[in-house]
Amino acid sequence: MKYLFAAVVLATTVVGFGEMASAAEGCGPGFYRGRYGNCRPMRGAVVVRPAPVVVAPPVVVVPRARVCPYGFRWWGGRCRPI
């Protein structure tokens, strides 16, 4: 079982590093390194750029403080006498 697990880990690692090679030397898909090291678009290649990701700000909900009158305490979901 441990040999099977090791083989699966090795296979996923190799596949993971194989995808990095398709980035064309850090320029991304549809681009290549030019003569002076800058990224150049490939002629005739269709470049699909991902849509921008819009992240909404988190909603913070603060629970309301439970205030019981003098001589009472909050217990069991309501104000009860002490």
Supply 48's token pair: 């699909």
Residue with tokens 């290649």: 45
Whether residue 57 has pLDDT greater than 60: yes
Domain that holds residue 44: 1-50
Q: What is the pLDDT of residue 33?
A: 85
Residue 18 in domain:
yes
Q: What is the pLDDT of residue 26?
A: 78
Q: What is the pTM of this model?
A: 0.28
Residue 2 in domain:
yes
Q: Are 19 and 4 in contact (CB under 8 A)?
A: no
The Cα–Cα gap between 58 and 56 comes to 6
Reported as a single tens digit per residue, the pLDDT across 9-55 is: 666 776 655 555 455 567 877 788 888 888 888 887 666 677 888 89
Domain tally, the chain = 1
Residue with tokens 């090291």: 37
Q: Are 81 and 68 in contact (CB under 8 A)?
A: no
Residue 75 in domain:
no
- Average pLDDT (57-80) is 85
